[in-house]
Amino acid sequence: MGPQVAMFSLANKVGLVVGIANEQSIAWGCAKAFRDAGAELAVTYHARAENRVRPLAETLEAPIILPLEVTDDAQTDAAFAAIDAQWGHLDFLLHCLAYCPRGDLQGRVVDTSLSGFQLAMDVSCHSFIRMLHRAEPLMRRGGACLTISYVGSKRAVNHYGLMGPVKAALEATVRYAAVELGPKGITVNALSPGPLRTRSASGLADFDGLLNAVAERVPTHHLSTIDDIGAHAAFLVSDGARNVTGRVHYVDGGYSIRG
């Protein structure tokens, strides 16, 4: 897939990538890294994004490219059934999904509507639980499951709003799932990038101001890129990380250590 040289191999591994929206997506950075390291991939897309995602998936030579609306159990079942039919097992899963209705996202947490809270939690957190449940029987020889969080889960970040509590729930899910699936050799981890320009992040109020403020504060003076995140994700699904689980891994230039 490109000039990058993998430091480890994912040859003979197969994975599912959920959440590519376009070439700026974190999931795209991860998918490229997985493929560069030798993995074979199944890629899903939201129906409205097919024209952007299918060409990307085809460059990965993905043998499985399917629609997936995570609130539709039938589509989720179909994706995992296709994986079972194609490979008979699954080695890793990347869940890179988040959604909150704009009105609830840009308002105060204490003003959040019940319907907005439920939808944000369903798409951004419980969908990961549903995928873990379906992935478990396919990971008979062990596996690795990843999701994406943000430091707003632990700190009150301006304009992050409702997604802070939602990501906190997601990180707690990572810890509990790691304990429950660990005896089967399945690891569960979250990646927590610093702010970067993605389609989902564009819904945050004053996002450009947030990016500028972060760039000034990070110890490395560099914002995260999707390639940075992909490199770390590829390590976490490799055999070298088979004893690393239940953690939130910050890929943020050190932003999370600043007071």
- Catalytic residues, by residue number, are 150, 160
CA-closest candidate to residue 144, choices 35, 43, 27, 17: 17
The residues pairing with 248 across neighbouring beta strands, listed in sequence order, are 190
Q: Which two tokens stand for residue 213?
A: 């403020």
Q: Which two tokens stand for residue 85?
A: 């039919």
CA-closest candidate to residue 123, choices 105, 106, 137, 141: 105
* CA angle (118 as vertex; 114, 119 as ends), nearest 5: 120
d(CA 16, CA 128): 12
Q: What is the signed CA dihedral for 17, 20, 25, 29, rounded to 10 degrees?
A: 40
Residue that the structure tokens 């947030």 belong to: 210
